[in-house]
Amino acid sequence: MAADTSTHADILISEVGPRDGLQSVKAIMPTPDKFRWIDALVAAGVREIEVASFVPARLLPQMADAAEVVRYAIRHPGVTVMALVPNLRGAEAALRAGAQKLTLPVSASREHSLANVRKTSEDMVEEVRAIAKLRDELAPGVRLEAGISTAFGCTLQGVVPEDDVIRLAAMCVAAGADESGLSDTVGYANPAQVRRLFRRLRAEVGQHAGAAHMHNTRGLGLANCLAAWEEGVRTFDSSLGGLGGCPYAPGASGNVVTEDLVFMFEAMGVRTGIDLEKIMAARVPLSAGLPGEPLYGMTPDAGLPKGYTQR
Ligand code: ZN
């Protein structure tokens, strides 16, 4: 619900490829290629980019240059530079580098939380509280998002009760998060479930309801985004070329494909602020930095429909 609707867009598409996409691929993209990719995204009209994850380089070598990438990206005016932080230490590094929005993954699945960050979901709420306090001291203008991961199901735990998801989202807001979004981390969600959960989320936390973060693992990414939009969600995470993959579903694509998401909304008359031709052109620097890495996307493969003009 944090979309800036004051200018020439009805929704905010938040590009997460440089973070979510890259952390799922084996190859390491050289830092100058990341810069060129970010430049191309900005040139296409992307107004929010999750550029890095502040995790130890030994765990994710792809993110060893996180601070450098943030420092570069914030030179673009009018773009919100986001970083994922798994804990207080990562948050401090991200804030000192100049990140303008932080996202902290808080897993609704107990097993996923322990496996992913070796903390319970309740411990992570305390982490939200500590990060919010640090943010208030260091950089009060920075927004803090809690991304409720495995909100629609978990490969470890299986079913994740909806009550657990909504309670956790509300606890994060109470602990100081500006927004709680819902993430379909492993691509289990369906549109009916998405509508139900976002409706409950909005009823529970009002304007603190955050983004829809959908993965396309079972081909329902776009349908799930549309369902979220129908419930009033106006911020959507996606990645260029659907970069990434899920280690539990070999061959599956990663996030919702940005190009397809832009095409869907623009074709519906919902303005994204993103130029379709230019966003497809942004695949060139991405591929240059990750040679041989498969990129997904139905719109880039098929091309724009005859007679299609973007408003
Ligand atoms: Zn994701």
Task: Please spell the DSSP secondary structure of 74-133, one letter per residue.
Answer: TTSTT-EEEEE-SSHHHHHHHHHHT-SEEEEEEESSHHHHHHHHSS-HHHHHHHHHHHHH
CA 14 to ligand 1 center in whole angstroms? 12
Is residue 87 assigned to a domain? yes
Collapse the DSSP code of 51 into the 3-class scheme (helix H, G, I; strand E, B; otherwise coil) and give the result. Answer: strand
Q: Which CATH number covers residue 298?
A: 3.20.20.70
CA 214 to ligand 1 center in whole angstroms? 7
Is residue 3 assigned to a domain? no
Question: What is the pLDDT at residue 59?
Answer: 87
Is residue 1 assigned to a domain? no
Domain holding 137, by residue range, is: 12-302
Tally of structural domains, the chain? 1
Active site residue 246: yes
Q: At what angle do helices 221-230 and 191-205 cross, to 10 degrees?
A: 40
Question: What is the pLDDT at residue 311?
Answer: 73
Report the Cα 170 to chain-centroid distance in Å: 20
Q: How many other CB atoms sit within 10 Å of the CB of residue 311?
A: 6
Give the confidence band of 242 by pLDDT, cuts at 50, 70, 90.
very high
Give the confidence band of 254 by pLDDT, cuts at 50, 70, 90.
confident
CA 303 to ligand 1 center in whole angstroms? 26
Once rounded to an integer, what is the mean pLDDT over residues 84-108? Answer: 97
Q: Please, which residues bridge with residue 246 across strands?
A: 249
Pairing, β 209-213 against β 179-183: parallel
Is residue 220 assigned to a domain? yes
Is residue 5 assigned to a domain? no
Give the confidence band of 62 by pLDDT, cuts at 50, 70, 90.
very high
Catalytic member of 154, 172, 225, 246: 246
Between the alpha carbon of residue 112 and those of residues 63, 158, 167, 256, the distances in Å are 22, 10, 17, 22
CA–CA separation, 253 and 214 (whole Å): 11
CA 239 to ligand 1 center in whole angstroms? 9
Question: What is the pLDDT at residue 5?
Answer: 44
Average pLDDT, whole number, for the chain? 93
Is residue 219 assigned to a domain? yes
Of 6-10, 68-72, 117-121, 193-197, the one with minimum mean pLDDT is: 6-10
pLDDT at 247 over 80: no
pLDDT at 170 over 70: yes
Report the Cα 294 to chain-centroid distance in Å: 20
CA 203 to ligand 1 center in whole angstroms? 24
Is residue 215 assigned to a domain? yes
Is residue 4 assigned to a domain? no
Closest by Cα among 273, 310, 275 to 11: 273
pLDDT at 1 over 50: no
Q: How many other CB atoms sit within 10 Å of the CB of residue 308?
A: 11
Percent of the chain with pLDDT over 70: 95
Q: Which helix (H) or strand (E) holds 49?
A: strand 48-53
Give the confidence band of 189 by pLDDT, cuts at 50, 70, 90.
very high
Question: What is the pLDDT at residue 8?
Answer: 84
**Tokens 């107004």 correspond to what residue?**
47
**Tokens 């020439």 correspond to what residue?**
8
Question: What is the pLDDT at residue 228?
Answer: 98
CA 185 to ligand 1 center in whole angstroms? 5
